[in-house]
Amino acid sequence: MEISGQQYEPVIGLEVHVQLNTKSKIFCDDPVKYGADPNTLVSPVSLAHPGTLPVVNRAVLGKAVKLGLALECKIAQKMYFDRKNYFYPDSPKGYQLTQDRTPVCKGGGVNIKTESGDKFVSLDKIHMEEDAGKSIHVEGEDFSKIDLNRAGTPLLEVVTNPCMSTSAEVALFLNYLRRLVRWLDISDANMEEGSLRCDANVSIKPVGSEKLGNKVEIKNMNSVRNVQKAINAEIKRQAELIRSGETVISETRLYDLEKNQTRAMRTKEALNDYRYFPDPDLSEIELSDSFINEIKSAMPELPEEREQRFINEYGIELEKARIICEEISQAKFFESMLKENIDPKVASNWFVGPVKGFINQNSEIKLENINPKALSSLIELSTSGKVNQHVAVRELLPEVMVNGTKPEKLAAEKGLLIESDENELLDWVNEAISQNPEKVTAWKNGKKGLSKFFMGEVMKKSKGKADPRQTISLIEEQLKNQ
């Protein structure tokens, strides 16, 4: 990007909040659930009543360590929580419990695959903290409504170094992180519901310059696409400021999707002075080697590794391996289908095509309720030529997926097994020929493509159970005899 004869480049760092999918909150027993009626998931602790004390949820530590290991971070073995003091009604204690000085994970990072090759996105840290409640501002009223259901929901804040230079890299990193946290069963990572939230720090600087420009923090983006758009809009705004000889002010800006631009936020706190200090109500935490090793040994094969193994071991195309490995449940289901000795490539075509298609169209169907063995038998039935593939997909697949019915039995009951009885076949062929004399003449005059028309007729008459190879040779034989 050129500004007044000088090449500039953007510098982008992210702060990603990952809401953990624990059953209860980070410091008390309240259930964690999205979309419940307001103020029904609260307790004296989350309401900050005097005299109540927090106790940390062990599962939060486990999930934090799990993510840290997957991202090759250094895991802190001694840590505590700090109070971040600020006054806002959706944080009833008057402070947020977070980790300032002793984050659970330091360093680490991940290689993302960009169009111009691998790019290492390095992490500064990952720390644990509690979420705030929600304020609802009512237009034209002089009050606000507060819902504290979300207050105390566990969060991991993943902070990257300012190491990205395009919004495309940001999108790749966010998609990687989203797949990873879902894969590890840490979070639902749904940006629209706010279980994955991303703030971006954006600045621009002359290429080669060591000194970073003034950074602007942008908020309020509820999809990866909007994060990209917001970053692009902000880079453009900063470039225009510099072009016209102005300076970029360090501030927080909100992204306005409709106008596709960022706007300054009115400052929440004139003096941002959080006065961090260690929380004296919580005990210190020491993670033993055995605590960490237990998590390490239960770590699933990571999505990228699994994808690569599917390609190397089973010869599945990259595109299909990627789709299957989008969710760990899919990857597991796919591998249990393969236990039945079916061709992995054929299985991948079925999985990515009709099976996923059927699930997408029928939201009540869940992968975990489908019997992989029944599905494998169906694929086998089709590849061995006992049932026409289209017929198998159309007539058998839905029932096999919904009820787990044995496909062979179902095919027999529905009369869909391919007929290799030559006499019956011959009847259908001759019927098709005698009903279409003009087509027969055309065929004889050289329109050999019409064989397919007769094939179609026979398939209709046989309801798809005529063996295609046998049928086509029979058709041609009979047509020659006319």
Partner 1 sequence: MKINKETVRKIAHLARLELNESQEESMISELSEILDWVEKLNELDTEGVEPLINISGEVNRWREDEAKLTISHKEALKNAPEHDDDFFIVPKVVE
Kindly state whether residue 438 participates in binding partner 1, applying the rule CB under 8 A. no
| Residue among 437, 404, 442, 425 nearest 477 (CA) | 425
| Residue among 236, 226, 222, 233 nearest 261 (CA) | 233
**CB of 281 or CB of 422, closer to partner 1:** 281
Kindly state whether residue 266 participates in binding partner 1, applying the rule CB under 8 A. yes
Kindly state whether residue 143 participates in binding partner 1, applying the rule CB under 8 A. yes
Find the part of the chain contacting partner 1 (CB under 8 A) among 85-93, 370-378, 417-425, 447-455.
Answer: 85-93
Evaluate whether 30 touches 43 at the Cβ level (below 8 Å). yes
Find the part of the chain contacting partner 1 (CB under 8 A) among 132-140, 228-236, 377-385, 464-472.
Answer: 132-140
Binding residue (CB under 8 A) for partner 1 from 115, 118, 245, 271: 271
Evaluate whether 62 touches 297 at the Cβ level (below 8 Å). no
Kindly state whether residue 47 participates in binding partner 1, applying the rule CB under 8 A. yes
Kindly state whether residue 59 participates in binding partner 1, applying the rule CB under 8 A. yes
- Say if strands 216-219 and 251-256 run parallel, antiparallel, or are unpaired: parallel
Binding residue (CB under 8 A) for partner 1 from 41, 158, 170, 325: 41
Kindly state whether residue 387 participates in binding partner 1, applying the rule CB under 8 A. no
Find the part of the chain contacting partner 1 (CB under 8 A) among 124-132, 176-184, 260-268, 396-404.
Answer: 260-268
Binding residue (CB under 8 A) for partner 1 from 3, 43, 93, 106: 43
**Rounded Cα distance, 270 and 357, in Å:** 53
Binding residue (CB under 8 A) for partner 1 from 16, 67, 285, 397: 285
In the complex, what is the shortest distance from the CB of residue 305 to partner 1, in angstroms, rounded to a whole number? 28
**CB of 43 or CB of 389, closer to partner 1:** 43
**CB of 34 or CB of 88, closer to partner 1:** 88
List CB contacts of 207: < 8 A, sequence separation 6 or more. 7, 8, 9
- Per-residue tokens: 26: 């980070």
**Rounded Cα distance, 352 and 184, in Å:** 22
Kindly state whether residue 19 participates in binding partner 1, applying the rule CB under 8 A. no
Between vectors from CA 112 to CA 109 and to CA 115, what angle results, nearest 5°? 155
**SS3 of residue 277 by DSSP:** strand
Burial (CB count <10 Å: 0-12, 13-18, 19+), residue 23: exposed
Kindly state whether residue 141 participates in binding partner 1, applying the rule CB under 8 A. yes
| Cβ neighbours around 140 below 10 Å, total | 4
Evaluate whether 443 touches 479 at the Cβ level (below 8 Å). yes
**CB of 61 or CB of 440, closer to partner 1:** 61
- Which residues inside 21-40 make contact with partner 1, applying CB under 8 A? 22-24, 29-32, 37-40
Count of residues that interact with partner 1, criterion CB under 8 A? 59
Residue 53: what residue type?
L
Binding residue (CB under 8 A) for partner 1 from 9, 17, 80, 232: 80
**CB of 57 or CB of 187, closer to partner 1:** 57
List CB contacts of 386: < 8 A, sequence separation 6 or more. 408, 411, 417, 418
Local structure of residue 31 (DSSP, 8 states): B
Q: Which residues bind partner 1 (CB under 8 A)?
A: 22-24, 29-32, 37-44, 47, 49, 55-61, 80, 85-89, 94, 135-137, 141-148, 265-266, 268-271, 273, 275, 278-286
